[in-house]
Chain A
């Protein structure tokens, strides 16, 4: 018997639909597993049931509103289904406490839920998965502490190197893709889709189009920059495993493509340009250390 036990029961009543149904049918039956004094039991039993129902509804939708702040464009696509999916979301992901940011927690839960719903039921236009993954990445890179730390590290490391990336240095610099930069391939043009949604259009579909992007957090603003990539630079950045040097990455690409010496030289110059752009943008950290270029 304690105030805490009563608060536990009330919290559960407001967030657990099944318990609430039992409570509405027979209040004492819902409270049987809580160690309550007669006075505490009476307080919970005599709550205004209709108001409890309304408050539960508001709490449930409050969770959804919070989570959707991470996915503002996805929210426009799923808006018409919110009444339907919100109870299912809250049931599948009960509001168990976790350390950390409430928004990040709810965003992570809703991301998993919406992907499951789309995969299992195909509820929304086919582009939803790409849109959702894109927004999830933007949100995570702009808010996570790990992305911030990685971004700072790239700035420090690249600043410390304090010289331009030349062919002569290509063997002694190791490009590292940290937690602030992620490569993604989407099944449609998510940038164009986002623009349409922001203009208030709700497309029924989006043309299938492989879209490769490097998404990385920018140091000055914490905004996430999306860099569209052709296949070759995309594969090259994929090879940046924190072990190989710039020269090692380029050499591996050339080997994979079975290039002639002239083609290899052209690739090297093109690749160095790409790496310089990534250096200047702070997308990759270039560490001066011994590489493992096997």
Chain B
């Protein structure tokens, strides 16, 4: 995995609803992560405005629609658009989710889990190869939140994820809120999970908040980051050189200062537990 060693620090998932506040407080945000889908289908002026605003900042591209685990090739037209966007952003890497969100007749609208089987592994390997041939930037896969296991797999999620990362030579976008929520809902130990995956492949980390629904915790990106997610972040930062941590907040937006406080907390963790790897602000 050829990665430039870049310490981006504490970043924010850019959402149009936050645009005005982001512009006002840009010097308190180390970098931004944008959802590729927000820029692929509109006029190019949206991207131009973002680049103008962030001329001094790194902007990282994060995808939602690759559906890397669907047992068919990735749409080349879509990949071409993503490739152009990643280049325009000069994004240090490009990421999407390790799961599937669509098949030819249904667009589920959210990422579903894969069967943890050799067959799925072969599909992901093939599709990641296609992505990497088309997109120049390093590619990261993100672990997802899911609410049910697909039974009778050949391996655990941790084993599957590890095999995917090593076989495809991809980086990991470690979503700690997904890990926390899956651990609660599916009853496993998140620290055992972390000790079972190649943490040296972690490039970026996502943090977010969830909420209780139907006796489960749901990953809605609409509340404060849970204490346990902060502890998981400390655990990871102690063990590997995370290049950037992104706060995702998609709904029920609080006063912007709360988001900035989260970023400050991230920076403190990076400084305190990151073995002087982070100079930051």
Contact = CB atoms under 8 A, between A and B. Distances in A.
B109 A11 contact: no
Given A15-B106, A63-B109, A95-B109, A58 B151 contact: no
B148 A7 contact: no
Interface in B145-187: 146-152
B106 A62 contact: no
Interface in B109-153: 109-110, 112, 115, 119-120, 123, 146-152
B41 A145 contact: yes
A54 B104 contact: no
B41 A42 contact: no
Given A3-B120, A144-B42, A11 B103 contact: yes
B108 A15 contact: yes
Nearest to B146: A55
Contacts of A98: 107
Given A15-B106, A46-B151, A96-B107, A4 B41 contact: no
Majority DSSP secondary structure for residues of A touching B: helix
Contacts of B102: 11, 97
Nearest to A47: B148
Contacts of A243: none
B216 interface: yes
A94 to B, nearest CB: 8
B42 A143 contact: yes
Nearest to B185: A51
Interface string B66-86: 000111100000000000000
Task: For chain B, give the interface size range.
Answer: 35 or more
B41 A12 contact: no
Interface in B211-262: 213-214, 216, 218, 251
Interface string A33-51: 0000001001100111001
Contacts of A48: 148-149
A198 to B, nearest CB: 14
Interface string A68-110: 0100000000000000000000000011111011111010000
Given A43-B115, A95-B109, A104 B147 contact: no
B152 A46 contact: yes
A148 B45 CA distance: 8
Instruction: Give me the 4 closest cross-chain CB pairs, A-B, nearest first.
Output: A148-B43, A51-B148, A4-B71, A101-B41
Interface of B: 17, 37, 40-46, 49, 64-65, 69-72, 100, 102-110, 112, 115, 119-120, 123, 146-152, 213-214, 216, 218, 251
Given A2-B71, A55-B148, 13 more contacts: A10-B112, A11-B103, A11-B106, A43-B151, A47-B148, A52-B148, A54-B147, A62-B110, A97-B107, A100-B41, A101-B42, A106-B109, A148-B45
